[in-house]
Amino acid sequence: MGGTNLRTAAVHLLGDGQVGVTMEKHEITQELKTGTGEAMFNWIADCLASLLKTVAVDMGNTDLHMGVTFSFAIHQTAINRGNVLAMGKGFDLSDVLGKDLKDLLEDGFKRKNLPIVVSAIINDTVGTLVSHAYVSPSTKIGVILATGTNAAYIERASEVSKYNGPECDQMILNTEWDAMGKAEYLPQTKYDKEIDAVSLVPGFQEFEKMVSGLYMGELVRLALVDMIEQKAIFEFLEGKVPESLQTRLAFKTLFMSTIESDNSAEHIAVERVFKTSFGIEGLTAEDRIRVFDLVHAIGLRSAAMVAAACSALLYKANGRSVNLDDTHEITTIGIDGSVFEKYPHFSRSMMEALTDILGEDRASCIRLELARDGGCIGAALVAMVSHHGGAV
């Protein structure tokens, strides 16, 4: 369950890094995001019932054991239990905060007569790391970069002061880096501060609001509105902002991708976006260049900030699960999410920033790889190990 969609999947592990996946995707409506917890978990149960019908799973009287990837903060108390914390990403569910996610899910299953037991709850970043390590064993960091952002990495258990479970050498830590960073030291612009001020929870997830897909387009819109009012762009509008640009989140990050995909000197894609989506025509060549430069700057900043955060994890893990100074050792960062997958040149911009931060020798041993559907596959892997009594 992420910030935009719920994915349900039946996963068949084939060995040698191969999997068979039957997946269904369901959009989470705004009504569900801001409704009751009961309505949300009833809907989740209905989506699972649809999947079971598709794959024709019949376990008789045996319970189905499920792994859950939950892309929101929880206070985890066991491998299959955790209390829901502030969710963010536009979610404001009633009667959910502080309650155990396993109970919320299984109560919904019982209401819908589904024999499903939650065997594991993981974060999407943990799922991404686990699933990509199944394919690429050199994976040491998992990153989500979509509607929101987060990361997990492999840390030495002795470094985790909160851990009081069975003795182990290493463990995967969910960083919740989306909520790290404060206005005092993040390089915020006035547009970043405005986005934070009107969000559901001001002062929360300030890093995420600067880099993720939900907010990148809004940064462009706020800057454009400011520039139009100052007559620094679209001078034919005479400082009046069209109604189509006044709506919050009206400028989608998808529009940024469309604009950056056009490498022509004329930047015709800029004109097409504004004509088709906002009814604005008559842009000059200078207008198109300024819009392109604005979009490019915001996309580049996002890539650089995510690279800086990855570098911090690499430095933290160096000498433990990572060896940055061994030129023969490859370290892979598995990244799932639409921003990394679909935003033009994002991977290249991240790699350039990593080189600036780490230096050429260290950066040459880092691989950025797309990790598709990591949450579903990772949850299945962890649920399987947990159900069979393995260490997780």
Q: Which amino acid is at 283?
A: L
Return the DSSP state at 199.
Answer: S
Gyration radius of the chain over CA positions: 22
Are the beta carbons of 295 and 220 closer than 8 angstroms?
A: yes
φ, ψ of residue 16 in degrees (nearest 5): 55, 35
Beta pairing, strands 64-69 & 116-122: parallel
How far apart, in Å, are the Cα atoms of 199 and each of 136, 141, 226?
38, 29, 19
Angle formed by the axes of helices 285-317 and 213-229, nearest 10°? 140
pLDDT of residue 60: 63
Structure tokens at 377: 């596959």
Cβ-proximal residues to 192 (8 Å cutoff; 6+ apart), any chain: 186, 206, 209, 210, 219
- For the chain, 392 residues long, give each residue's pLDDT as a single digit of tens: 888 899 999 888 787 778 888 999 999 999 999 999 999 999 999 999 999 888 876 656 678 889 998 878 888 888 899 999 878 777 888 889 999 999 999 999 999 999 899 999 998 889 999 999 988 999 999 999 998 999 999 998 888 887 777 778 888 888 989 888 777 888 999 999 999 999 988 888 999 999 999 999 999 999 999 999 999 999 999 999 999 999 999 999 999 999 999 989 999 999 999 999 999 999 999 999 999 999 999 999 999 999 999 999 999 999 888 999 998 999 999 999 999 999 999 999 999 999 999 999 999 999 999 997 777 888 888 888 887 665 44
Best CA proximity match to 2, nearest among 75, 81, 88: 88
